[in-house]
Amino acid sequence: MRGRGGARGGRASSAPWSRLKPVDLDLLESMGLPSKGDNRLLDFKTQERYYTKIVERYMTFCSDAGERDELLRRFASLSFSSTNDISSRPIPKNVQPSSPKPDASKALSDVLSALRKLREGIVASKRTDDFAIQAYLFCIRLSILVKHPESYHPAILHLLRRIQPVHSMTTVELNEVTSYLVLDTACRRNNLGEAFALRHQYRLKDSKVNAVLDALTHDNYVEFKTFEAEGRRAPSEAAGVRRGACAEAPVKVL
């Protein structure tokens, strides 16, 4: 039944309502956590599309920074104590601090939050393939860059304990991830004994990791700080786009 003005249901259309534009939803934010009941990320294709959006957002962040030195400054200024909060951390002497722009802070916060959702989806769907490795490597590298152990540490453990036994990483990737675990254990968790045990368990042979462990064992502060300074600036292939991160992103000592 038509009412006045020809509208169905007996009500005329309201001009203000007709001018409203549809809301543009941010896919990264609109996707929910699988642990909270959103099951969309249990689908493999959805995971892959979501990961593509995450990488696009991160690459936009890198592009906005422009020069490599500016990107270094932004990473030095942005350290996350949680996926939504920024905490101040010591900034390397060779990198001048700069005030992070709110948009830049939000961009990385959104990416880290989205990576958490994606990791939950991969775990819940029991996915153990090349894509799972790629997504986890990206998460680990980025989380290390922003000094967020709450993200990189569980990701490293899941990759080594759950994915690697079922679907092997390349030798280079395995060495990279085990190096991160050994360094994190020795430097952040301050457990040299466990660090040596992990190095033996995974048969890790890395001269830089060995140098760090040697410096810590002998309380050689000068040697350790020298390696730390080099590590912050090194644009090694571990931070390349082999299976994830921005090509210009540096590797930081944990």
Q: Which residue has the higher pLDDT, 59 or 3?
A: 59
| Distance from the Cα of residue 223 to its chain's centroid | 29
User: Residue 23 falls within a domain, yes or no?
Assistant: no
Percentage of residues in the chain having pLDDT higher than 70 = 66
Rounded to an integer, the average pLDDT of 105-114 is 88
* 115 lies in some domain: yes
Is residue 219 within 8 A of residue 111, CB to CB? The reply is no
Question: Cα-flanking dihedrals φ and ψ of residue 51, to 5°?
Answer: -60, -40
pLDDT at residue number 103: 66
Is 8 part of any domain?
no
pLDDT of residue 230: 57
Within a domain: 218: yes
Confidence of residue 125 (pLDDT cuts 50, 70, 90): very high
Report if residue 247 sits inside a domain. Answer: no
How many domains does the chain fold into?
A: 1
CA distance 113 to 54: 10
| Residue 13 domain-assigned (yes or no) | no
Domain range for 119 is 34-239
The pLDDT tens digits of the residues spanning 82-99 come to 444 433 334 444 444 444
Q: What is the mean pLDDT of the chain?
A: 78
Average pLDDT of 228-241? 45
Q: What is the pTM (predicted TM-score) of this model?
A: 0.75
Does the pLDDT at position 150 exceed 60?
yes
- Identify the pLDDT of residue 91: 40
pLDDT digits (tens, 9 = 90+) for 164-194: 999 999 999 999 999 999 999 999 999 999 9
178: in domain: yes
Per the DSSP assignment, residues forming a β-bridge with 80 are: 86
Residue 152 is predicted with a pLDDT of 96
Higher pLDDT, 46 or 2: 46
42: in domain: yes
The more confident residue out of 173 and 19 is: 173
